[in-house]
Structure 1
């Protein structure tokens, strides 16, 4: 493994616009036709997988390249300014399309009321395989793509564009990693045959890191709706986890990690040693130690300030651990350690420390959250 491995993070990117509200307004009806609502200064931040996973990796000290698609507009310039504020080099791989509109989300979060989101998908819906500059990918160890369910061209035609992109990346010897997002059941993405999409892309996906909810939605919609109606995600049984991961591995992924929210991370790997050994530049040094395994890491017990981007940061921890040659158990622990740093802050990435602090937490013997899932090897 090279001394300074590179991870490319591509996929969904947007500008979050978050108006501030006076806490004294809690419980006051705010929205009515024709009403002017006084708000506080807005916070501008980048959002999406490119921002959350990519910037978390950067903060961990991993050489990171970001590839999100934006427009040549004011919001696009704001995205570039925010990214350059962390490190000018991070903005060099951004895809700027003069014909596209930068994606944005207005996060309306009045005190004492449920949040609302006004979202424009913009350039994310036009992202295609040809947008990726392969010259900037060729020497990478890992290529991570996030949120295809909210990127229209990436899920159409059974994921043909995503499959083409992953095939080209793998042909360059780069390890591929994919994360998902939960489709809106009432949207176009909610009516896609996700089993067909997964069957198309997973033979080309070395590391697949969706959430339990996303995976259940895609593979067993009836079970998803049943659990959702019962608010029962924290108490699903071991049978469901094994059934879902069995199917994902059978479709061709080498490593599958199900993010379980505050219950931790559940990882299973293929029993096919040859498949695992063909994972590209970031193939684990100890292939035998990663083959045919089941590993579970509960979350660290920390005070929770916010959960925005927690799953994305968990992914960053796992991928960073992989590039550092960690054993599967340690990479999984690193993932939940980084996730714990995320939830200790209100935003997605400002609480992510240097890797040395992650190692210290991993080996500190710090308390873990009790699980209600009855998970075992």
Structure 2
């Protein structure tokens, strides 16, 4: 299929001095999200065969890593380049136009597959249940490493890629295309981050040996930020218990230890209502190779194990919460914050996300997020077992038994 860059909207070129180089590139999965308002309908209502369910209007917006994390970074004030693949169809036009409404240049680096169909998801969020997705991968399946050129990488500090389990070329052949892309970004000196999604166990992606694929690609990843469910699926298999009730500090330490042994510098596991768990390498030299977002004091990032509880909010929806949490962490890296500040920023941006029904309209500028934290924003209590953990300082983080603070006084 022919691949083209999307032409600029109503203009041959930006006015002189208008464009600014991107600090961050967000690449990978992109789709159109259709989110019907189910009102008070619960899972037991919508699952009845043959039933006609009266619903409200639908929110039609963009979804996937490129749109969710990328637009969140844009709203936080980061100069960002979005690189997802769409088709030359009406859904592709909707995706591009939606991004342009967020920022005139946000659709410039989209890749258009001639004759291909754009990806879409129908997001079903029943009252009292977690959301479900009806998903068509579309042009995401043909996204390849050469869709991101060296020229596109020039000048950026950060490269974030998301959802390879929903992108056939990225998980085929043991993940060689993903390895090729991440290795090239790393060789160019960028800080590389990676997010996952949990595949349908019955799909081709669900039958991939994800542990072997991770061992192939994680040496080129500085920050790996999957969810609890994705981590269990990929390390323990589809038969593992994926419910939040199985979550514990001991299990998180086991999983993060296995992931760190594969090569990343930082492993962050998103825990939903329990917050964000982060464990870092004890290898100071690995943190020196962190790329252009290298912490100013790499030693302060070594051998850390922390949990950032969520902030209190009145939740309207959870679509895109994980992507926005990652956006908060990456924005903090770009601002040079310490690990504690990055984790706090991550769950704060994630909290802003769930105050709106869609993925990004709740995100406010970075300075506003910081002011809300400084004003004493209350945190939710954690409920999972945390044996050997203790409460940290005024930032409200919990400190794990594998943290260097367990061996050295703060």
Same fold per superposition (TM over 0.5): yes
Name 2:291's counterpart in structure 1. 280
Name 2:270's counterpart in structure 1. 259
Is 1:76 the counterpart of 2:92? The answer is: yes
2:22 and 2:346 map into 1 onto residues whose CA distance is 18
What TM-score results when the alignment is normalised by the length of structure 1?
0.91
How far 1:373 sits from its partner (Å)? 2.4
Give the secondary structure class of the aligned counterpart of 1:197: helix
Instruction: Determine which of 309, 322, 343 is the counterpart of 2:320.
Output: 309
How far 1:363 sits from its partner (Å)? 2.3
How far 1:43 sits from its partner (Å)? 3.0
Instruction: Determine which of 157, 160, 163 is the counterpart of 1:144.
Output: 160
Structure whose residues are more often helix by fraction: 1
Does the CA contact (< 8 Å) of 1:304 and 1:345 recur in 2? yes
How far 1:345 sits from its partner (Å)? 1.3
> Relative to structure 1, is the Cα distance of residues 196 and 139 closer, same or farther in structure 2, using a 3 angstrom cutoff?
same
Does the CA contact (< 8 Å) of 2:41 and 2:126 recur in 1? no
Instruction: Within 5 Å, give how 1:41-120 maps onto structure 2.
Output: 41-107=57-123, 117-120=133-136
Instruction: Determine which of 23, 26, 30 is the counterpart of 1:6.
Output: 23
Deviations 1:175-209 (A, max 9, x none): 10000001111111111100100000000001100
Does the CA contact (< 8 Å) of 2:59 and 2:358 recur in 1? no
1:287 and 1:301 map into 2 onto residues whose CA distance is 31
Give the secondary structure class of the aligned counterpart of 2:282: coil
> Relative to structure 1, is the Cα distance of residues 264 and 42 closer, same or farther in structure 2, using a 3 angstrom cutoff?
closer
Does the CA contact (< 8 Å) of 1:153 and 1:161 recur in 2? yes
Is 1:16 the counterpart of 2:27? The answer is: no
Deviations 1:255-293 (A, max 9, x none): 110111110111111111111111111111111111121
Does the CA contact (< 8 Å) of 1:5 and 1:323 recur in 2? no
Does the CA contact (< 8 Å) of 1:295 and 1:328 recur in 2? no
1:314 and 1:42 map into 2 onto residues whose CA distance is 24
2:60 and 2:340 map into 1 onto residues whose CA distance is 37
Instruction: Determine which of 336, 350, 354 is the counterpart of 2:365.
Output: 354
What TM-score results when the alignment is normalised by the length of structure 2?
0.84
> Relative to structure 1, is the Cα distance of residues 92 and 307 closer, same or farther in structure 2, using a 3 angstrom cutoff?
same
Structure 2: which 5+ residue stretches go unaligned?
A: 1-19, 390-399, 401-410
Instruction: Within 5 Å, give how 1:152-231 maps onto structure 2.
Output: 152-221=168-237, 225-228=239-242, 231=243
Does the CA contact (< 8 Å) of 1:27 and 1:112 recur in 2? no
Give the secondary structure class of the aligned counterpart of 1:186: coil
Deviations 1:40-81 (A, max 9, x none): 654321011111111111110111110010011111111111
2:276 and 2:354 map into 1 onto residues whose CA distance is 15
Deviations 1:113-172 (A, max 9, x none): 996643211001111101113312121111000111111110111110000001111111
Structure 1: which 5+ residue stretches go unaligned?
A: none
Name 2:17's counterpart in structure 1. none
> Relative to structure 1, is the Cα distance of residues 44 and 28 closer, same or farther in structure 2, using a 3 angstrom cutoff?
closer
> Relative to structure 1, is the Cα distance of residues 204 and 305 closer, same or farther in structure 2, using a 3 angstrom cutoff?
same
How far 1:92 sits from its partner (Å)? 0.7
Higher mean Cα deviation, 156-165 or 107-116?
107-116
In angstroms, what is the RMSD of aligned CA positions? 2.5
Instruction: Determine which of 306, 309, 331 is the counterpart of 1:320.
Output: 331
Give the secondary structure class of the aligned counterpart of 1:149: helix
Give the secondary structure class of the aligned counterpart of 2:161: strand
> Relative to structure 1, is the Cα distance of residues 304 and 125 closer, same or farther in structure 2, using a 3 angstrom cutoff?
same
- In the alignment of these two chains, the number of paired residues is 368
How far 1:296 sits from its partner (Å)? 1.5
